[in-house]
Structure 1
Amino acid sequence: MTNRKPYVREVKRTWWQNHPFYRFYMLREATVLPLILFTLFVLIGLASLVKGADAWHSWLAFMANPVVVAINIVALAGSLLHAQTFFSMVPQVMPIRLKGKPVEKSVIVVTQWAAVAVISLLVLILV
């Protein structure tokens, strides 16, 4: 045994606030909280739909609450932020080639957003 003590650098709780990349990362990861609430709201809505018309109307009144609407707007913004960061990473992670030539990154990202728009429109039409 030795009496040697290894150097352990102190890490403060706010280490991530010193660099813009980590601040953005923490913001993006924090957007999961409103998404969890949105998911719970939808599950409660499904449960109230099963319980009957009175429970359903109570849930609709709950969803009309300004705080709930604000949480849902923040959840939507968080979802769009996640989609944007994911779509911007796809060309780097999975470069696509057509006829041996690489497809431009912007074309890949725009194609993904177009697919989201088409699917959203289809869902709106069907519902």
Structure 2
Amino acid sequence: MSNRKPYVRDMKRTWWKNHPFYRTYMLREATVLPLILFTLFITIGLGALVKGPEAWASWLEFMSSPVVIIINILALLGSLFHAFTFFNMMPQVMPLRFKGKPIDAKTIVLAQWAVVAFISLIVLIIV
């Protein structure tokens, strides 16, 4: 047996801050926190809706709190960031072809954003 020690590389807690790719990845992963709170708020709202008008009114008052509004705005921004990174990754993960020719990546990304805008418009019209 050898008396040599194996090399153990130091791993600092902030290792991800040294590279832009990892910073973006960590930011994307951190956006799940306001999304979880948003989902929890909506679930509580559904429960309040079932309980009656008084519970619904108190939930509406809770939702008008500045802290909750900020959390909801952060959740919206996090969702848009997720969509942006996913849409940009899509042409690389699943390249599409039309009549044997590859479709430009920008066209795929813009088409996805167009679908999001269209669905958002339909929801705004319905609500």
Identify the TM-score tier after normalising by the shorter chain: over 0.9
Q: In the TM superposition, what whole-angstrom CA distance separates every residue of 1:18-37 from its partner, at most 9, and x where no partner exists?
A: 11111111111100000000
Runs of 5+ in structure 1 lacking a partner? none
In the other structure, the counterpart of 2:81 is 81
Equivalenced residues, count: 127
C-alpha distance in 2 between matches for 1:53 and 1:2: 76
Structure 2-normalised TM-score?
0.95
Q: In the TM superposition, what whole-angstrom CA distance separates every residue of 1:58-81 from its partner, at most 9, and x where no partner exists?
A: 000110111100100010000000
C-alpha distance in 2 between matches for 1:31 and 1:58: 27
Structure 1-normalised TM-score?
0.95
State percent identity of aligned pairs: 72
C-alpha distance in 2 between matches for 1:14 and 1:111: 37
In the other structure, the counterpart of 1:93 is 93
Letter in 2 for 1:89: M
In the other structure, the counterpart of 1:28 is 28
Runs of 5+ in structure 2 lacking a partner? none
Q: In the TM superposition, what whole-angstrom CA distance separates every residue of 1:92-114 from its partner, at most 9, and x where no partner exists?
A: 11111111111111110010011
C-alpha distance in 2 between matches for 1:25 and 1:93: 17
State the 4+ residue runs in structure 1 displaced beyond 6 angstroms: none
Question: After the TM superposition, which residues 1-127 of structure 1 pair with which residues of structure 2 at under 5 Å, given as runs?
Answer: 3-127=3-127
